[in-house]
Amino acid sequence: MSVEIATPESANQTAAGPEFSDRDRLNDILSMEKYMTASYNTGLNEMQNPKLHETIQGILGDEHNMQFQVFDKMWQKGWYKIEAADQQKIQQAYQQFNGYKSQFPK
């Protein structure tokens, strides 16, 4: 059984019609911000020029801040729900990744 974590406002959210709503706009912006941060991360991983790396790293920080602001606004309005992690799944993931430690050199 999955448990959703959401704000109380989320209970009264209904689609008003086919128009592009504020929720649709924020969801679109959130998707774009996630794409942008992933792209900047990839670029930084492959960037050799120190000055350019520093500049792009600053931009990436700004993008992460914007992404969080959009996410937080959606959360506050009840437009973004999170599924609570199942304790058994957490334990399984812990055991799986904890087992990887033995593969690393000491």
DSSP class of residue 18 equals: S
Residue 38 is assigned to a structural domain of this protein: yes
Instruction: Decide if 67 is inside a domain.
Output: yes
For residue 58, which of 72, 42, 44 has the smallest C-alpha distance? 44
Task: Name the domain count of the chain.
Answer: 1
Report yes or no on 82 lying in a domain.
no
- pLDDT tens string 38-96: 999 999 999 999 999 999 999 999 999 999 999 999 999 999 988 888 899 899 989 98
- Residue 92 falls inside a structural domain: no
Q: Is residue 102 part of a domain?
A: no
Is the separation of the CB atoms in 67 and 37 below 8 Å?
yes
**Distance (Å, rounded) from C-alpha 103 to C-alpha 43?**
29
- pTM beyond cutoff 0.75: no
- Strand segments, DSSP code E, in 11-88 are 82-83
Instruction: Tell me whether residue 105 is in a domain.
Output: no
